[in-house]
Structure 1
Amino acid sequence: MTDMLDDDMTQAHTDLFSKFDPLIEMRRDLLSTGVTDPFGLVMERVISPTVAICNGRETILLGTYNYMGMTFDPDVIVAGKQALDDFGSGTTGSRVLNGTYAGHKAVEQALCEFYGMDHAMVFSTGYQANLGIISTIAGKGDYIVLDIDSHASIWDGCKMGDAEVVPFKHNDIEAMEKRLRRIPEGAGKLVVLEGVYSMLGDIAPLKEMIAIAKKYGAMVLVDEAHSMGFIGPNGRGVAEEQGCLDDVDFVIGTFSKSVGTVGGFCVSNHPKFEIMRLVCRPYVFTASLPPSVVATACTSIRKLMHAGEKRAHLWENSKTLHKGLRDAGFQIGTEEPQSAIISVIMPDLERGAAMWEALLHEGLYVNLARPPATPANMTLLRCSLCAEHSAAQVQQIIGMFTRAGKATGIIG
């Protein structure tokens, strides 16, 4: 009996943090080598979309997702300040209670015009947009077919909605069709895809995939977080670029990348879409975005409708950096530049961290991405270019990578 009680006491005192021990050990081993914590960088001052003060020195920013450089746009700043003066610092309420201000309706109208769609619904973050929309439209008894490399917010939306989740190999059209073929006739089906996948910066063959989804009677949701504002003739994303936007049922996006602030959204032409405002829990039970945030987002979105020159310059930056790093001897995640993300593949986490720190000493900040967030357990140095990077800065970046790569032995 005593032994039994001892066992019960041992179980009762199990440390709930013990499941994180392998990660704690990995982090301890990494920091014991003397490298700066790559996940604890502090920006002491931000000077522009492309430059900040980090660790007391001026640093070029190449890991911020600020693709169109809107964070310091003068019109955006003015709009935010004016809304702060006129409406105060926050709404202190949900959108279905007191949290809908004129600015929330205005930004949703701007999104409708940007995408040429009938309905737009704004969330407090991009993560929440995926969580809310996916969990609400696909529930118990429904099926979600999704790319295995889908973002964490997509996976979490699937889990919260309790639908049957059927993943397929990354960007594999045949594998996707095979999964759809096996779903019982008459079941609700949702295919979830991304325009640009954030780890390697590769794009999806949306045109072919959406055609197959429709063949099997599935609805289609495309997350265009990393392409909105940049890819496509009007910046509407990969679906627009590939000529299949009209076949997409739901487009998910975020304000925290090309738009330059924070928030998320879903646009749709579905005639019943407005009921989502009453049934989507992450929308109903969360305070709405502050007036200053929706004002900056609205101004930014309207300017992105006419940002053809900035898009063209960003493409040039992407092509130049991709070629420069490949010519220097680095292994890049894609054969050709497909987006504003250029991922440099590292041999392992330790050498990836050493290279990250060497770049920081050069005056360059990039993202260190590690397993399990990365595909195939890769360690990546993920670069996200900005339309405000000058051609001279891109050449400077290539030189920094080359010097750091030689110093750490990553390239010969």
Structure 2
Amino acid sequence: MTDIFAKHQGLREAYEGLTAASPRNPFEVVIERPISASVGIIEGRETLLFGTNNYLGLSQSKKAIEAAVETAETMGVGTTGSRIANGTFGLHRKLEAKLAEFFRRKHCMVFSTGYQANLGTISALVNKDDVLLLDADSHASIYDGAKLSGAQVIRFRHNDPVDLEKRLARLKDHTGAKLIIAEGIYSMTGNVAPLDKFVDIKTRHGAYLMADEAHSFGVLGAHGRGVAEMQDCEDGIDFVVGTFSKSLGTVGGYCVTNHDGVDLMRLCSRPYMFTASLPPEIIAATMAALEDMQGRPELRTKLQENAARLHAGLQKVGLKTGEHVSPVVAVTLETVDQAVGFWNALLENGVYVNLSLPPATPDNRPLLRCSVMAAHSPEEIDRAVAVFGEVARHFGL
């Protein structure tokens, strides 16, 4: 019998080589319990959490916790069906209305995860007769949505309006739809997209533009609507997709738009049609976290201050970070062995970050990816920077 896993032999060898050289498996770190948004117990030790994407600290929102408990007690813990079967509760429609109002859009679809939001939106919007123009550093969920759609995929250089326009110009005789997809903040590097320039380009070339604001929702803009709000180009974005699992601290995803085709999307988006809907307690917690976010704009101010403090601190100790100051701060290293050793030393000294390895990283270089929170104190950030500096000196960096 043919070994069904034989096709993964190369992956197996790489995985075994990585785990053999590391005192712990970097892909199976267990946060035994959170003490607060910024501190958790890992390996029995209190550890600073700088790898959770919990940008506003709202995973610990008292309002969200209370809403979840009350709703679970009154409505149960699940829907047991998809949105087009028995899985649409009044709470789902209420959340969609609140998100549409927040984003100043006419329509909203809520998905069970952020991954499914990209998968379901992209595959519902385009097909084999259409063209997708994707930023080369797009998230895996965007590429998977492109595969599911069957559309022709053209990649343009990361954050490069000139390259995008050049590729669009070659499509002037294409009769199908053209959909550009970019992210607000890129999850690996923290780079911020020039969405305002992309809006100008898509308008000149008769294309549509979708922005994935997963890591910028709640983070950027005067009201937390993301990069498009910050760059004053919201009206030029046709579709905004994002997730609840970052700034709102729960789980789920959404697509908001002014285009009158959402009801059709609900009938042809397979990830929406064939997945159980979000449980009522998660919907309730998400709405409470959204209200918390809207009522506490000071969280965004504190988050930006903390992001600048961490970014400057890591550069001061001689480490290479991205050029943009955002809540994602990535330290670039040269070799996988170096990155694995550095990551282990950080954890042993009480700082947890994400270890990101090729081929999932830009330029195929390993990253130590930090995500800062509004909940971090200046002292916690300074402690993390000090540990980074000590480890860097140990490794001769």
Q: Fold conserved (TM > 0.5)?
A: yes
Q: Does 1:282 align with 2:271?
A: yes
Count of aligned pairs: 396
Which residue, 11, 33, 52 being the options, matches 1:45? 33
The match for 2:204 among 207, 215, 218 is: 215
Q: Which residue of 1 aligns with 2:344?
A: 357
Contact map agreement 1:119 1:274 (CA 8 A) in 2: no
Q: Does 1:205 align with 2:194?
A: yes
| 1:319 equivalenced with 2:308 (yes/no) | yes
Question: Taking every aligned residue pair, what percent have the same amino acid on both sides?
Answer: 46
The aligned counterpart of 1:97 is: 85
Partner secondary structure for residue 298 of structure 2: helix
Q: Distance in 1 between matches of 2:52 and 2:14?
A: 25
* Correspondence list, 1:132-151, <5 A: 132-151=120-139
Please tell me whether residue 252 in structure 1 is matched to residue 241 in structure 2.
yes
Aligned residue in 2 for 1:234: 223
Equivalent residues of 1:362, 1:404 under 8 A apart = no
Does structure 1 residue 374 correspond to structure 2 residue 351? no
1:342 to 1:34, Cα distance in 2 relative to 1, 3 A? closer
- Report the alpha carbon displacement of residue 21 of structure 1 after superposing the two structures with TM: 1.9
Aligned partners of 1:98, 1:335: CA distance in 2, in Å?
A: 48
Stretches of 4+ moved more than 4 A in 1? none
Using the alignment, how far apart are the partners of 1:32 and 1:278 within structure 2?
A: 48
Q: Check whether the contact 2:109–2:262 (CA below 8 A) recurs between aligned residues.
A: no
Q: Deviations over 1:122-169 (max 9, x none)?
A: 000000000001011100110101101100000000100100111111
- Largest Rg, 1 or 2: 1
* 3-state SS of 1:310 partner: helix
TM-score w.r.t. structure 1 length? 0.94
Q: Which residue of 2 aligns with 1:341?
A: 328
Question: Separation in 2 of the partners of 1:100 and 1:88?
Answer: 14
Contact 2:63 2:292 in 1 (8 A): no
Q: Which amino acid aligns with 2:123?
A: S
For 2:328, give the aligned amino acid. I
Matched, 1:190 2:192: no
Question: Alpha-carbon deviation of 1:253?
Answer: 0.4
Q: Is the 8 A contact 1:114 1:301 kept in 2?
A: no
Verify: 1:86 aligned to 2:48, yes or no.
no
Given that 1:250 and 1:267 are in contact with CA atoms closer than 8 Å, whether structure 2 keeps it comes out as yes
Corresponding residue of 2:257: 268
SS at 1:270's partner residue?
A: coil
Q: For residues 393-412 of structure 1, what are the alpha-carbon distances to aligned partners after superposition, in whole Å with 9 as ceiling and x for unaligned?
A: 11111111111222233x2x
Q: For 1:190, what is the secondary structure of its paired residue?
A: strand
C-alpha distance in structure 2 between counterparts of 1:34 and 1:232, whole Å: 41
Specify the code of the residue in structure 2 equivalent to 1:349: V
- 1:302 pairs, out of 291, 298, 303, with 291
1-side partners of 2:134 and 2:199: how far apart? 12
Q: CA deviation at 1:252?
A: 0.2
User: How many angstroms does 1:303 deviate by?
Assistant: 1.9
- Check the 8 A contact 2:191/2:324 in 1, yes or no: no
Q: Counterparts of 1:14 and 1:371 in 2: how far apart (Å)?
A: 29
- What is the Cα deviation at residue 336 of structure 1? 4.0
For 2:336, the aligned partner's letter is L
Q: CA deviation at 1:275?
A: 2.0
What residue ranges of structure 2 are gaps of 5+ in the alignment?
Answer: none
- Tell me whether 26-35 or 319-328 shows the greater mean CA deviation: 26-35
CA distance in 1, matches of 2:265, 2:101: 20
Q: Show the 5 A alignment for 1:24-63.
A: 24-63=12-51
User: Whole-Å Cα distance in 2 between the matches of residues 227 and 348 of structure 1?
Assistant: 29
